[in-house]
Amino acid sequence: MNRKLYYGWIMTAVAFIFIGLGTYFTIMNFGLFVAPVVSDLGVSVTSFVFSATVFQFVTAIGASFVGKIVDKKGIRFSALLGTAILAIGYVILGTAKIMPIFYLGYGFLGLAAAITGPLLTSAIAARWFVKYRGLVNGIISAGSGFIAMFAAPIVAKSIIGRGYSTTYFLCLIPVIVMLMLAIIFIKNKPEDIGQFPDGVKSIIEKDNQVKVEMPGLTLSEAIKTSGFWIVTIGFAVYMFADLSMFQTYNANIQSRGFDPILAAGVVSVFGLSQIPAKIIFGFLTDKISIKIATLFGLACLVAAALLTTTFTSSTSVSVLYLFAVLFSFGHGCWPPLFMKYIIYTCGAKQIGAVYGFGFMVFNLVAMFGPTVTGVMFDVMGTYNGAYSIHAICVVVAFVLLMFAKKGEFDH
């Protein structure tokens, strides 16, 4: 007997590419533009790198508002909106010749990332799946690592051969691909095409229409619960450490005396390892206790942070690669874990709004992490002190998350 393919899996495959393109071509290639922009405009590295701070701030603030849009207007509208904003950002950056315009451009990219990043990933996983939510979240999140394998050399060669301004305009090509995917394939929810979320249990018949009821709390109800704040604060402490390491681990390795080419090799191993890491953690959150999965993921991050404190110029390459793998699992665990904790404590009724508000709060804390790490390096002349503190932060985050309790709502 032939069974019709559940469209949620098509949504997963399309979102893998869509969100991968949106995530990678917003900020993950940021470092490739630093040297050419600084050299061409004669500005300081600090002034241009501030663009990344603008990006992070707008992403954090925008997530709260975007979450409500996803809940009210749907996934498809949000995907189209994010794509349009992303296009505007690249047009602005392609014409930018002074820093304020760069800040404006990266502000638009930050808003686009708030729409086309983790929030949309979680909305798709929560609305189209029940049984496989964690796995789907992990698969879609892995898209950025997959795209990175192909995009990094293309962007780098384009900057060298055509200049950074033209390269910003060429980034509109993946935006066009995103637009086509959103128009043709992305749907709001399975009920719109006569299907039900995979594993759904609660179905209500109303006005001759089938409506799927997702149990949970509204945003106004969620922010009044201790569970929401325990999870949000726990991830804020975790992300403070994780984002700090993510933005400084390459510099940390080079500070030990390793050449940039070898450091770039470690980055490649980290990027490749993120693909299985996110998928594995997504699978684990569906199959085992969320708190055991948390222990595994955060233990990897603690181990990675402490391992860097042993680095010297004579450290073997295999140890550097071990760090990259450990860090990829410690970093890659958060997208499926945060989504599952939000659903665990607050349900999926308003997943966009609740997730978006939590995402905003923990990112506003995390955005100061890289700066604190840089200041500590300037004072101490080494990253050891900062990374030791990051390891402690992750342990504190784990303890906080262990206090999270299942929310009180209709299941």
Question: In the block, which residue shows the tokens 């098509």?
Answer: 10
**Superfamily (CATH H level) for 7-201:** MFS general substrate transporter like domains (1.20.1250.20)
pTM of the prediction? 0.78
Assess whether pLDDT exceeds 90 at residue 3. no
Domains 7-201 and 219-402 belong to one CATH topology: yes
Tell me the CA distances in angstroms from 90 to 19, 171, 174, 315, one per residue in order: 17, 7, 11, 41
Angstrom distance (rounded) from CA 9 to CA 131:
13
Question: In the block, which residue shows the tokens 């704040």?
Answer: 229
Q: Could you tell me the residue ranges of all domains in the chain?
A: 7-201, 219-402
Angstrom distance (rounded) from CA 375 to CA 371:
6
Assess whether pLDDT exceeds 60 at residue 328. yes
Show Cβ contacts of residue 134 under 8 Å, excluding neighbours closer than 6 positions.
125, 281, 282, 283, 284, 285, 286, 336, 339, 340
| Least confident piece of the model among 26-40, 123-137, 236-250, 374-388 | 26-40
| Least confident piece of the model among 24-28, 49-53, 191-195, 283-287 | 24-28
Angstrom distance (rounded) from CA 253 to CA 263:
6
Question: What architecture (CATH level 2) is domain 219-402?
Answer: Up-down Bundle (1.20)
Tokens of 21: 């393109």
Assess whether pLDDT exceeds 90 at residue 318. yes
pLDDT band at 209 (very low <50, low <70, confident <90, very high): low
Position 388 scores a pLDDT of 96
What mean pLDDT, rounded, does the chain reach?
87
Query: What number is the average pLDDT over the span 228-240?
Result: 95
* Element (DSSP H or E) covering residue 103: helix 99-116
Query: What number is the average pLDDT over the span 120-144?
Result: 86
Tokens of 106: 């990266």
